[in-house]
Structure 1
Amino acid sequence: MEKILLWVGWIGIAIVIFALLAIVAAAGRGYYPMLALVAALPWAAPALVGFVLVAAFGSMLAQLKAIRAASERQADIFQKLFDRKPSA
């Protein structure tokens, strides 16, 4: 699941950036590209933030999965040490 979220986030970020570049390139010359960029920001900024959050959530899930695996390994090691220790 985390890899899917990472891919969706990164692909979404790339699509938004390419759409912004296409809008700026199609605007012509002079101050029109800047005007087009400013006009596109109301939808582009929330889209970028949303896709960054999706990618960050996917990364967080991967980290939590690694933490859980390490915790289970530590519990197994502790149990082996506890079983091997002679009782007094």
Structure 2
Amino acid sequence: MKIKLIALLFTISLTNLLHSDDLMNPTSYSKDLYQIPILDGTYSEDVTHPDEFLGFGIGERVAAPWQITSALKTWSNESNRIKVIEYARTHEDRPLH
């Protein structure tokens, strides 16, 4: 009985792990939702545009937590208008800013 329970839990965990990337896929695309571009405007050339390091446009898909952290750190190093402070960590040991 105990072995069956462990095998079941292992199977469920493995299934969740294998399909976790499916959650990152968009259910719709920004071009279908927005009539005008998102973040369209005049911005400082010294600050990296998100498209450059995310690998996709704003609103095209969900950014992974590590990508958001990377973006915040990049912008904090490039501009004196942002200060990133980690105030806690998630149960998965990801930083909260």
Please report the TM-score for the alignment, with normalisation by the length of structure 2.
0.28
Higher share in strand: 2
Instruction: Using CA pairs under 8 Å that are at least 6 residues apart, name the structure with larger relative contact order, 1 or 2.
Output: 1
Higher share in helix: 1
Please report the TM-score for the alignment, with normalisation by the length of structure 1.
0.30
